[in-house]
Structure 1
Amino acid sequence: MDVEKLIEEYKIMPLVTLETSEMAEILGEALTECGLNIVEVTFRSDAAAGAIRILTEKFPNLLVGAGTVLTTGMVDQALEAGAKFILAPGFNREVVAYCQEKNVPVYPGCMTPTEIDMAYSMGLRTVKIFPFVPMGGLPVLKAVAAPYKMMKFVVTGGIKNENLAETLAYDKIISCGGSWLISGTKLKAGDKAGIVQDIKEAMKLVK
C-alpha cells in the first residue's frame, strides 16, 4: 500500500477525536458512503486506539492514520490497533526515528525552516504544517518552503471550505486535513446523514 499516494489522491483528510465505539462506527459508515476512505484519529481521548481498531477491522477499505502522536508508546498503540500512518503536532526526533524503524509513514508537525531542515536531514520529504492558517497560511508557507523544492506538505489548522480550493492549488500541498470536515456535534448525535452531506460538500470543492 502506497500510503502517501492515497493521501495525495484523496486531497482532504478528516481529523476526528472519537470517544465511543458508536461514534467510530457512524464515522466509518459515513466515510464509506461518500467514498472518502481516509481519516486521522487523534490520540486526544482514551478511546483512540479502540476507535482505530474498530475502523480498521469493520471498514477494511478505510486508510486510518493516528494523530496527535507524542511518544513511541503511542506509536505502538496506534500500530497495534491497525493505523497505517502517524501524524504528530510537532517534530520529535525520537518518534520520527521510531516510525522509520517500524517502516511506517510519519508526518511530523513543522512550522519553521529549522524544523523542515531537521525532517529533511532524517530522510523525510513530506511533513505536516501545523498550525497552517494561524501560522500565516499560504504566504508564509510559500516563503518558508522556497529553499526546500524537494519537500511536500500536509497542512492542518484553520482549513475550511472557504479556503480549501485556494490551499490545494499550491502544488507543494498534497492534502488538507482538519476537524471542519466532521462535525463533532453531528457525530455525537449520530447524525450520519448530516455528516455525509458535509463531507460531500467538501469533496465537490476538491473536484
Structure 2
Amino acid sequence: MSDLNTRLEKIKVVPVIAIKDAAKAATLAQVLIENGLPCAEVTFRTEQAPQAIKAMRQAYPELLIGAGTILTCSQVDQAIEAGANFIVSPGLNPTIVKYCQQKGIDIVPGVNNPSLVEQAMEMGLKTLKFFPAELSGGLGMLKAMSAVYPVKFMPTGGVSPQNVKDYLAVPSVLVCGGTWMVPSKLIDEDRWGELAELVADVANIIN
C-alpha cells in the first residue's frame, strides 16, 4: 500500500470515469497522461469497465489504474485480470476487503463515520475513501475524524474545482477523487479537446 500511497499523493486528483465504450479508453488515457493526471478510476457501473481497463493498460503501462464501484468478488477478479493496480469500493464490505487481501491487491473502501473507520483499521487498512464526502459532512467531518484516527483519506463525492484545494490542504488527505473533469457526455461524443482542457485545468489548480 505504501507504493500506491506514494503514487496517489503525487497525482493528487484521481479522475473517476464511467466509460460505455472500451474502444475510447486508450484515447481517454492519452488525454489524462498528456494533460497532467496520469491516473484513472474506471468504475464498474458500466459493462465495458473491464475491457476499458485492459485497453488502457495495454496502451499505457505506466498509467495508474483503479477499478471503482467494486461490489463483488467476481468483479475483483475481473479487475485484476484486466490489469488494475488497485480496487475502490463505495462502502466497507469485509468480504471484499478480505478477498482483495488474499489476492494481493490494494483496496480503498468507502467510509463516512468513525465506526466504519475503526472497522477498516481492524482489518489492517490505513487508506480509506471518504464517501460521499460532501453529503457526509464534508471538510468538518473529515477534520474531526482525522484528529482521532491515523489513516489517510481519499475524499470523493461532491469534490469540485471550488473545494478540491481545501480538501487537499487537510494533512490526512492523500488524494481526491472527482468526476467533473471526465464527464461521460464528452467521452461519448469524442470531444477530446474539451476533455483535455478540463483535465489540464485540474492539473493547474492542484500544482
Q: TM-score range by the shorter chain?
A: over 0.9
The one-letter code sitting in structure 2 at the alignment partner of 1:138 is: L
Q: d(CA) in 2 for partners of 1:165 and 1:113?
A: 24
The corresponding residue for 1:205 is 205
Q: d(CA) in 1 for partners of 2:33 and 2:11?
A: 13
CA shift digits 1:23-68 (9 cap, x unpaired): 2122112012113211000000111100110001111111111000
The one-letter code sitting in structure 2 at the alignment partner of 1:173 is: V
TM-score w.r.t. length of structure 1: 0.96
The corresponding residue for 1:109 is 110
TM-score w.r.t. length of structure 2: 0.96
State how 1:1-150 maps to structure 2 within 5 Å.
2-148=3-149, 150=150
Q: d(CA) in 1 for partners of 2:201 and 2:158?
A: 17
Q: d(CA) in 2 for partners of 1:177 and 1:138?
A: 14
Q: d(CA) in 2 for partners of 1:203 and 1:14?
A: 11
Q: d(CA) in 2 for partners of 1:179 and 1:166?
A: 17
The corresponding residue for 1:157 is 157
Check if 1:194 corresponds to 2:178. no
Q: Secondary structure at the match of 2:14?
A: strand
Preserved CA contact (<8 Å) 2:8 2:175: yes
Q: Secondary structure at the match of 2:98?
A: helix
How far residue 158 of structure 1 moved from its aligned partner, in angstroms, is 0.2
Q: d(CA) in 1 for partners of 2:4 and 2:154?
A: 13
Q: Secondary structure at the match of 1:7?
A: helix
Q: Secondary structure at the match of 1:161?
A: coil
Range that drifts further, 182-191 or 82-91: 182-191
The one-letter code sitting in structure 2 at the alignment partner of 1:88 is: S
Unaligned runs of 5+ in 1: none
Q: d(CA) in 2 for partners of 1:28 and 1:143?
A: 36
Give aligned-pair identity as a percent. 37
Q: d(CA) in 2 for partners of 1:145 and 1:110?
A: 13
Preserved CA contact (<8 Å) 2:36 2:200: no
Preserved CA contact (<8 Å) 1:26 1:190: no
The one-letter code sitting in structure 2 at the alignment partner of 1:18 is: I
